[in-house]
């Protein structure tokens, strides 16, 4: 697996994008105590200032799409919503006042309707010219609070879509607590949204070189850090050691946490680590990883400039790990024309 798209990331190691060290690393306050309260959702739905984020079941692995213009989410007020009960309402939170989004200082609710309902609504001209798109395409261009809203909405909507029935008795469950819990009417069991942890790791050797791998799905030139899912009953550190062993055939030590990135494709969080290689004779697993290379900083810079190696997209946690080791931003490839820095969305795992 890999991490190349750009949902919001907690970056304790960077500091550059945090004007205040005591500021929370989020722009949307989920108000998790309030949203669990009886009647909270009704109050929010009755508030004229509440904005709604339209969602529909989409194509592909992610399965959720939202409306957006070129660089912003298309959130709408209650007065223009489609008539009739939606498939789902989820309370996302209150956006910070300083945001440049129209949602600044307002509650935002994700609202899911079938595609056909939104289609008629769009045909009636309520969409402001926005188009349907997924998180992977939108995250690189959205303002930070809107990227957070969409990441959260995508993850929770995908969970609901895949968890409509009670895992104990099979009865259809109902949505409670503003969209954050499902309740079984038969046995009263409560079911909470899940997030699957995955580790991603920069492996460094005793010559201060970094190990990068080419995944079978990426086409050969794109190199990134190794990654994989944490298994039940396993610590994050053990997962780092096991994954590097499986994918590269070497033993690493001193796994150390760096930062995290939400990765709702459909339900993961990427936990970034760095680790020391105790050997350098690597062997790609041949299935997921087809090639492995050790790079000095000069070698990686030269390979990227020449276009021989394509690094992960600039806002990904994989790129963050590589640039943490490199010491600054990676150079741009010299052969290709300049881009706006966001880069194209790239297919993930
Ligand atoms: Zn049940």
Domain ranges of the chain: 31-163, 196-326
Tell me, in angstroms, the distance from the centre of ligand 1 to residue 165's CA: 8
Residue 335: both structure tokens together: 């052969």
Secondary structure element (H or E) that encloses residue 238, with its range? helix 236-248
Please name the residue that has the structure tokens 């469950």.
173
Domain boundaries 31-163, corresponding CATH code? 3.90.79
CA distance 142 to 154: 14
Residue 140: both structure tokens together: 């690189």
Q: Tell me, what's the pLDDT at 39?
A: 96
Q: Tell me, what's the pLDDT at 322?
A: 98
Tell me, in angstroms, the distance from the centre of ligand 1 to residue 194's CA: 18
Our measurement of the distance from residue 12's CA atom to the centroid of its chain's CA atoms, rounded to an integer in Å, reads 17
How do residues 211-269 score in pLDDT, each as one tens digit?
999 988 887 899 999 999 999 999 999 999 999 999 999 999 999 999 999 998 889 99
Residues 6+ apart with CB under 8 A from 106: 49, 50, 51, 94, 95
Q: Tell me, what's the pLDDT at 326?
A: 97
Residue 80: both structure tokens together: 């223009």
Q: Tell me, what's the pLDDT at 18?
A: 44
Residues 6+ apart with CB under 8 A from 226: 200, 201, 203, 211, 213, 243, 244, 247, 248, 289
- Answer for the pair 278, 201: CB distance below 8 angstroms, yes or no: no
Residues in the chain predicted with pLDDT less than 70, given as ranges, are 1-21, 59-62, 335-349
Q: Tell me, what's the pLDDT at 335?
A: 60
DSSP letter for 29, please.
Answer: E
Residue 30: both structure tokens together: 């989920």
Asked, colleague to colleague, whether 31-163 and 196-326 share their fold, the answer is yes
Q: Tell me, what's the pLDDT at 314?
A: 85
Q: Tell me, what's the pLDDT at 9?
A: 58
Tell me, in angstroms, the distance from the centre of ligand 1 to residue 174's CA: 11
Residues 6+ apart with CB under 8 A from 152: 28, 30, 92, 93, 110, 262
10 Å Cβ neighbour count for 48? Answer: 7
Tell me, in angstroms, the distance from the centre of ligand 1 to residue 164's CA: 11
How do residues 104-128 score in pLDDT, each as one tens digit?
999 999 999 999 999 999 999 988 8
Q: Tell me, what's the pLDDT at 35?
A: 98
Tell me, in angstroms, the distance from the centre of ligand 1 to residue 182's CA: 10
SS3 content of the chain, % helix, strand, coil (to 5): 25, 30, 50
CA distance 194 to 180: 11
Q: How long a stretch of residues is the chain?
A: 349
Residues 6+ apart with CB under 8 A from 247: 213, 226, 228, 284, 285, 288, 289
Q: Tell me, what's the pLDDT at 136?
A: 86
Tell me, in angstroms, the distance from the centre of ligand 1 to residue 172's CA: 8
Q: Tell me, what's the pLDDT at 6?
A: 54
Q: Which residues surround ligand 1, an ion (CB under 5 A)?
A: 166, 168-169, 171, 184, 186-187
Residue 261: both structure tokens together: 């990135």
CA distance 55 to 12: 31
State the CATH class of domain 196-326: alpha beta
Tell me, in angstroms, the distance from the centre of ligand 1 to residue 41's CA: 24
Q: Tell me, what's the pLDDT at 347?
A: 34
CA distance 240 to 208: 19
CA distance 43 to 314: 40
Tell me, in angstroms, the distance from the centre of ligand 1 to residue 169's CA: 4
* 242 bridge partner residues: none
Strands 181-183 and 190-191: antiparallel
Residue 333: both structure tokens together: 């490839």
DSSP letter for 84, please.
Answer: S
Q: Tell me, what's the pLDDT at 146?
A: 97
């Amino acid at each position: 697996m890999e991490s190349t798209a750009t949902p919001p990331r907690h970056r304790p190691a960077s500091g550059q994008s945090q004007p205040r060290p005591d500021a929370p690393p989020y722009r949307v306050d989920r108000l998790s105590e309030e949203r669990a309260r009886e009647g909270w959702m009704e109050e929010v739905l009755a508030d004229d200032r509440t904005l709604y984020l339209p969602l529909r079941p989409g194509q592909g692995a992610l399965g959720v799409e939202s409306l957006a213009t070129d660089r912003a989410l298309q959130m709408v007020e209650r007065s223009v919503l489609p008539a009739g009960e939606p498939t789902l309402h989820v309370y996302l939170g209150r956006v910070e006042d300083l945001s440049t989004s129209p949602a600044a200082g307002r509650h935002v609710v994700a609202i899911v309707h079938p595609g056909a309902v939104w289609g008629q609504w769009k045909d009636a001209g309520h969409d402001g010219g926005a188009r349907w798109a997924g998180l992977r395409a939108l995250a690189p261009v959205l303002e930070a609070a809107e990227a957070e809203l969409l990441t959260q909405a995508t993850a929770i909507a995908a969970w609901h879509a895949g968890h409509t029935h009670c895992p104990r008795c099979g009865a259809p469950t109902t949505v409670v607590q503003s969209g954050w819990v499902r309740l079984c009417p038969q046995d009263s069991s409560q079911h909470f949204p899940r997030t699957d942890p995955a580790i991603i790791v920069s492996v460094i050797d005793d010559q201060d070189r970094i190990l990068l791998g080419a995944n079978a799905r990426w086409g050969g030139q794109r190199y990134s850090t190794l990654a994989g899912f944490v298994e039940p009953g396993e610590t994050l550190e053990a997962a780092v050691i096991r994954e590097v062993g499986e994918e590269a055939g070497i033993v690493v030590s001193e796994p150390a946490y760096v930062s995290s990135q939400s990765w709702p494709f459909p339900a993961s969080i990427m936990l970034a680590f760095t680790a020391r290689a105790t050997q350098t004779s690597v062997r790609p697993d041949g299935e997921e990883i087809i090639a492995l290379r050790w790079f000095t900083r000069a070698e990686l810079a030269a390979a990227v400039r020449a276009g021989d190696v394509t690094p992960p997209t600039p806002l990904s946690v994989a790129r963050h790990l590589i640039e943490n080791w490199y010491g600054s931003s990676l150079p741009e490839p010299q052969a290709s024309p300049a881009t706006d820095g966001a880069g194209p969305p790239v297919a993930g795992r």
